Amino acid sequence: MPTPSRAFFAVLLLLGADGIMQAGEGEAGGAHFVGSTGCSASSCHGGGGTFQSEFTQWSKNDFHHERPFATLTTARASRIADNLKIADPTKDARCTACHAPLQTVPPALLSAENKVTEGVSCENCHAPAENWLRSHTRTDWTTADRVQAGMRDLKNLYVRANTCVACHQSVDAEVRRAGHPELVFELDGQLASEPRHWSREKDKPGPQIWLVGQAVALREISWQLAGEKEPEKSLRDQWEGLLQLMAPLAAIENKTLDVGIIMAGSSPDNFKAAQQWSDAFAKDAANLAWTDELSRRYLNSLATSGDVFNNRGVSQSAQARYAERLVLALDRLLTSQASLAADAKLTQSLDQLYGDVQDLPNFAPLRFVRDLNSFRATLSASSP
């Protein structure tokens, strides 16, 4: 029997299963799922007023509703399933762990209202609602009270990233070889593309969300590499690229990351060292008091990181992975600065960098460095 993928264990994390790292301290492993209908009343989250339209947003506009399950019924899913010798992808945990997580929940914990075909439902993200549904709107309850009752604290960026990352970053090696598309986790950009059903004003700054997401992505890739007997080169290239991205950011926060030592070999010890470091960094980053000045420091630091492409110790394929992550980073940091985001020359320069990473197998480092230097010069001229 194939080794369960990280995505399968992600479901255990989402369900708050005993023995698996918890996404929220108060989550109880035996709580029942009441179903999305428990959230859908017009006086709750199914109405049209402020903070009352969450269910409506999810059910009508959110990709997580139904489409993940529907993906398992496509011809592409059938081909991947055939390669894996899976009879029905809508019922196999290697597929449903992320595409239909309620399928993996023990039936005794599901109410009659739960529908596997909903895809990623309310409680898959917010945790089984049996113990907190009736009380979570009480005005005398604090966030700590809700967490203690079993509700996942998605205001905490570390918790939020943990809730999303496993299904948006890690794909088991065997499943990848069977034809599953590669995943790249970028929390801020992915949240920005999701129909928002939470307060934008009360949320953390986008660059901070991005930073926590990248640290958690590095942790997940490190975890996966540490557990594979023969790590795939493409995954190791992703790992090297993320390490190169995090190194200058770690220096800003005085969180030493010795990329040279960690990258000196590909033993499980190297991967575990990166895993532990990135997890600690993600926790600290989630608690930073973020400022626009800090965003600008990160932006300037990454805009001047062209030396990576002159490092003969980094393969061209790993450089391509770094460039991919770098462009996503510049985009999120630039978007957070209104005056810079409105600069037509700067956005045009960023578009050029995006074009450079569209074909990673044919990535041209010299061209990318040229365009990165142009972006840096335009950035310097745009504002003090």
List pLDDT tens digits, range 105-130: 999 999 988 999 999 999 999 999 99
Please state, in angstroms and as integers, the Cα–Cα distance from residue 51 to each residue in 41, 131, 137, 167, 262, following that order: 13, 21, 11, 27, 46
Please state, in angstroms and as integers, the Cα–Cα distance from residue 148 to each residue in 14, 202, 230, 334, following that order: 16, 22, 41, 38
User: Looking at residues 124-138, what average pLDDT do you find?
Assistant: 93
Report the C-alpha gap between 36 and 65 in whole angstroms.
11
Residues sharing a CB contact under 8 Å with residue 127, sequence separation 6 or more, in sequence order: 14, 16, 23, 24, 27, 31, 150, 151, 152
Query: Helix crossing, 365-382 with 316-335: angle to 10°?
Result: 20
Mean per-residue pLDDT over the chain, rounded: 88
Please state, in angstroms and as integers, the Cα–Cα distance from residue 108 to each residue in 49, 80, 111, following that order: 35, 30, 8
Residue 7: pLDDT band by 50, 70, 90 thresholds? very low
pLDDT of 25 strictly over 70: no
- Which residue, 233, 254, 225, 258, is CA-closest to 244? 258
Residues sharing a CB contact under 8 Å with residue 275, sequence separation 6 or more, in sequence order: 219, 222, 223, 226
DSSP state of 129: -
Report the C-alpha gap between 337 and 295 in whole angstroms.
8
Report the C-alpha gap between 115 and 96 in whole angstroms.
13
- Computed on alpha carbons and rounded to an integer, the radius of gyration of the chain in Å comes to 21
What's this model's pTM, rounded to 2 decimal places?
Answer: 0.89
